[in-house]
Amino acid sequence: MKKNQFVNTLAFITMAIGFLSCNNTAAEKNVATDTTQLKDSTTAKTATTIAAIQTTSIDTVLYNQKLKELANGDTSGLWPQKFAYPLPGAILPYNRIVAFYGNLYSTRMGILGEIPKDSMFKKLQYEMDKWKVADPSTPVIPALHYIAMTAQSLPGKDGKHRLRMPFHQIDTIMNWAKEINAIVFLDIQVGGSTIKEEIPLMEKYLKLPNVHFGIDPEFSLKNGETPGTKIGSFNADDINDAVDYLAEVVRKNNLPPKILMVHRFTQGMVTGYDKIKKTPEVQIVMDMDGWGDKILKNSTYLRYIRKEPVMFTGFKLFYKNDTRKDPNGMFTPEELLKLIPRPSYIQFQ
């Protein structure tokens, strides 16, 4: 499970998982050191994919083929899941997303915000390149996954234990994403608030075709508890509030499908998984969000992601916490491709 620290200041109250400094490996040093070249290279490699996402119709034959590949020989009958084809422009299952997660106000919440932008771009390109080698048949799309609302230990003026990030910080992420032709996820930790109350504040960004949404049940406390003192939860109704809102944004603005990413690492974090709506406008990713050794993470994925299927799956990797006891404790792309089902979304914190 994630262990959380809360640091209270007048300027910013941040929730964070403790991180050590990040060291470049020899392989990373082989990545282009010229930042301009790197940005040009990244953009060139992904521009065609992004353009295709925005313009092509659904190839149903390829869609079914890719779903079968993701099922990875599953014999339980749970995978691949059956649901309506998405609207044209769907990212999944045609592509794999590699995302860097964090907040620009803190160096302790994730790799996005921990290191300078240009170094972060290089590291993201390095991780993408590993996935391209491991699974060359699946295009890789970069993503910046920004925590746009953080749960708080202090209640705040309205008693809801959450802090909304200023739009100028989100705008910074949007500008960074343009530099490498990345998609953006805006992630919220609602504290004592609700998805229904908070998601409309993000609509000006969600109306853009490259912006998607993330929700974290861990920090949804419905009975006045303080975030960090217990693990919160979302039920199907909570998640469907996000699905309904995103679907309406897609319909109103004639957009390709939105991706809704849901964090999960315990049974109780998500209840009523089988009642979560599946619509052509929204592609849901259930993301295995726990940290620890490989045996523990594999078990978590099996129990809470594989056995309670929704649509697509994700897997989070922690640069520090996964390697705390073992320097080789992080899963490699080759190892993750052995999972049943294979994850479509890879997040680094």
pLDDT in tens, 13-72: 333 333 223 333 333 333 333 334 445 444 444 443 444 444 468 899 999 999 999 999
- 138 touches 345 (CB < 8 A): no
- 305 touches 340 (CB < 8 A): no
Evaluate whether residue 4 is within a structural domain. no
Q: What is the pLDDT of residue 56?
A: 60
60 token code pair: 């149903």
Q: What is the pLDDT of residue 220?
A: 93
Instruction: Give 170-207 pLDDT, tens digit per residue.
Output: 999 999 999 999 999 999 999 999 999 999 999 999 99
Enclosing domain of residue 58? 26-348
Q: What is the pLDDT of residue 325?
A: 87
Cα angle 62, 65, 71 (rounded to 5 degrees) comes to: 140
Number of domains in the chain: 1
Is residue 237 pLDDT above 90, yes or no?
A: yes
User: Rg of the chain's alpha carbons, rounded to an integer?
Assistant: 19
Q: Which of 157-166, 183-192, 276-285 has the least mean pLDDT?
A: 157-166
Is the pLDDT higher at 43 or at 238? 238
**Backbone φ, ψ for residue 57 (5° rounding):** -85, 170
81 token code pair: 């899941």
Evaluate whether residue 175 is within a structural domain. yes
Q: What is the pLDDT of residue 223?
A: 85
Evaluate whether residue 15 is within a structural domain. no
Look up residue 27 and give its amino acid. A
Q: What is the pLDDT of residue 3?
A: 38
Cα–Cα distance measured from residue 197 to residue 29, given in angstroms and rounded to the nearest whole number = 45
Q: What is the pLDDT of residue 224?
A: 82
Evaluate whether residue 34 is within a structural domain. yes
Instruction: Give 88-113 pLDDT, tens digit per residue.
Output: 999 999 999 999 999 999 888 999 99
Evaluate whether residue 14 is within a structural domain. no
Cα–Cα distance measured from residue 263 to residue 345, given in angstroms and rounded to the nearest whole number = 12
Cα–Cα distance measured from residue 65 to residue 195, given in angstroms and rounded to the nearest whole number = 34
| Cα four-point dihedral sign 293, 14, 170, 173 | negative
Evaluate whether residue 3 is within a structural domain. no
Is the pLDDT higher at 122 or at 2? 122
Crossing angle, helix 117-134 and helix 167-180, to 10 degrees?
50
Is the pLDDT higher at 144 or at 31? 144
Evaluate whether residue 9 is within a structural domain. no
Cα–Cα distance measured from residue 46 to residue 142, given in angstroms and rounded to the nearest whole number = 8
Give the global pTM.
Answer: 0.84
Evaluate whether residue 163 is within a structural domain. yes
Average pLDDT, the chain: 86
**Mean local confidence (pLDDT), 315-328:** 91
**Backbone φ, ψ for residue 263 (5° rounding):** -70, 145
**Mean local confidence (pLDDT), 239-245:** 98
Question: Which CATH number is 244's domain given?
Answer: 3.20.20
